[in-house]
Amino acid sequence: MVTAYFDCFSGIAGDMILGAFIDLGMDLDFFKKEIKKLNLKGYKIDVKKVKKDNIVASDLYIKVDEKQPHRNLKDINSLIDNSNLDCDVKNLS
């Protein structure tokens, strides 16, 4: 297993983590294919390169087209359990 260590001295968000993984070589098409296995609807994933203070990075956007229901932990666990994700991924999730 590969481990990534983040030194989040001023915080980090999920889109920042995913953008970093893309910059490290994560295949965006593979990621999108895996996310589709959750059977969620009404979203679009987009990535673009951004530059800030001479630092270039991938910025990942998730645009939600439809109103999504509020999901608590039980709902999220059910979503994962009922998905088409591999068993190993489900167990780690």
Cβ atoms within 10 Å, residue 49:
11
How confident is the chain (93 residues) per 10-residue block, as mean pLDDT?
84 90 94 95 93 91 89 97 96 93
| One-letter identity of residue 81 | D
| pLDDT on residue 50 | 92
Nearest to 35 by CA among 50, 56, 49, 21: 21
| pLDDT on residue 30 | 95
C-beta of residue 12 within 8 angstroms of C-beta of residue 37: no
SS3 at position 92: helix
Give the Cα separation of 11 and 75 in Å (integer): 27
| pLDDT on residue 52 | 87
| pLDDT on residue 91 | 95
Whole-prediction pTM: 0.78
| pLDDT on residue 26 | 94
